[in-house]
């Protein structure tokens, strides 16, 4: 067999394997969506219960879910705009630029941190043979979604206060929220399954979230750093989400205008999603033995 023919076979086989892997990934994702729909009533029930349980017994009950993020926004606003007198960003008041970045970060960090502990928190459900354990991180993510929806509404109201009317571009939030949900779910399948066996995982996740907050352009404009370092900032998948929120409210551009960012984010996210699903399924049979 000639060398050229041998190379052709390798290329064809390589393409076949890549196509087969992509097909399996998409099939697995569709199966996940179908299973999600079938379990929707159970997920809704546990999500409501989880949200109430987190704040049950306190004097202000669920109000605490909104107080802490609001205080954080106010502190950052006074520090950077009042004390340091930060000027407008992209011709928008600093507070508007700030909240469109910090609100998605709140949802990401809270949902990932809570979802990491989901298997341990609901350990009594793990031991039930008929229960779909993979939905436990979803319950924690959706529980955080209640607060996130409130803050999206708050963003719209604050923009109205400054004289900016809602536009059709704001509807892109649904797309970016779905993108963040898939990213968090893939990560939480990894962290929650490992947390059952390695107790330090929750602390490690918390540390990485603290570091990630300062490395992600949440309250600082990435344009202030030299352009040669922009590529490293854009490697962070949260950059795509946070910039997407700002594009929906401030820049008012649609997500398909940046195909390179779109392909990179979804390529990375689907890899994380696939790895998370495989790892979770691999370790799931051993959860009950360890808990």
State the Cα angle at 245 between 144 and 225, rounded to 5°: 115
Which residue from 202, 174, 166, 187 is spatially nearest to 273, judged by alpha carbons? 187
pLDDT above 80: residue 151:
yes
Coil/strand/helix, residue 117: coil
Whole-angstrom Cα distance, residue 99 to residue 77? 9
Which alpha helices (H) appear in 78-200, and where do they start and end?
94-116, 118-121, 123-126, 136-161, 172-197
List, in order, residues 6 or more apart from 94 with CB less than 8 Å away: 77, 80, 81, 86, 87, 88
47-86 tens-digit pLDDT: 877 777 766 555 555 676 677 777 877 777 777 767 666 7
Please, which contacts does 122-128 make with residues 24 or more away whose CB atoms are closer than 8 Å? Answer: 123/291, 126/287, 126/288, 126/291, 127/288, 127/291
174-220 tens-digit pLDDT: 999 999 999 999 999 999 999 999 888 999 999 999 998 888 888 88
Give the pTM: 0.82
Coil/strand/helix, residue 89: strand
List, in order, residues 6 or more apart from 191 with CB less than 8 Å away: 112, 115, 116, 201, 202, 205
In 3-state terms, the chain is what percent helix, strand and coil (to 5)? 85, 0, 15
105-144 tens-digit pLDDT: 999 999 999 999 989 888 887 776 667 788 888 888 988 8
Whole-angstrom Cα distance, residue 91 to residue 175? 25
Which residue from 97, 73, 272 is spatially nearest to 179, judged by alpha carbons? 272
- At 44, list the tokens: 């809704």
Whole-angstrom Cα distance, residue 223 to residue 234? 12
> What's the confidence (pLDDT) of residue 185?
92
> What's the confidence (pLDDT) of residue 2?
47
């Amino acid at each position: 067999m000639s060398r050229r023919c041998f190379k052709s076979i390798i290329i064809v086989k390589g393409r076949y394997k890549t196509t087969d892997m992509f097909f399996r990934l998409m099939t697995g994702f569709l199966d996940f969506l179908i299973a999600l729909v079938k379990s929707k009533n159970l997920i809704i029930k546990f999500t409501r219960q989880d949200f109430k349980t987190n704040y049950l017994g306190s004097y202000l009950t669920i109000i605490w879910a909104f107080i802490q993020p609001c205080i954080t926004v106010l502190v950052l606003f006074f520090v950077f705009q009042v004390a340091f007198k930060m000027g407008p960003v992209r011709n928008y008041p600093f507070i508007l630029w700030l909240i469109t970045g910090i609100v998605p970060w709140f949802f990401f960090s809270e949902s990932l941190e809570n979802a990491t502990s989901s298997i341990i928190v609901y350990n009594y459900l793990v031991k039930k043979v008929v229960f779909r354990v993979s939905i436990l991180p979803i319950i924690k993510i959706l529980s955080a979604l209640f607060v996130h929806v409130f803050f999206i509404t708050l963003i719209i109201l604050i923009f109205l206060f400054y004289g900016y009317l809602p536009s059709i571009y704001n509807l892109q939030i649904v797309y970016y929220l779905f993108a963040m949900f898939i990213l968090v779910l893939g990560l939480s399948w990894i962290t929650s399954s490992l947390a059952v066996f390695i107790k330090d995982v929750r602390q490690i996740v918390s540390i990485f979230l603290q570091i990630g907050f300062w490395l992600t352009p949440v309250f600082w404009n990435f344009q202030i750093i030299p352009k040669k370092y922009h590529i490293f900032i854009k490697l962070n998948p949260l950059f795509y989400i946070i910039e997407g929120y700002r594009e929906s409210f401030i820049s008012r551009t649609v997500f398909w205008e940046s195909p390179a960012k779109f392909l990179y984010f979804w390529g990375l996210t689907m890899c994380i999603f696939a790895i998370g699903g495989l790892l979770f399924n691999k370790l799931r049979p051993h959860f009950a033995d360890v808990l």
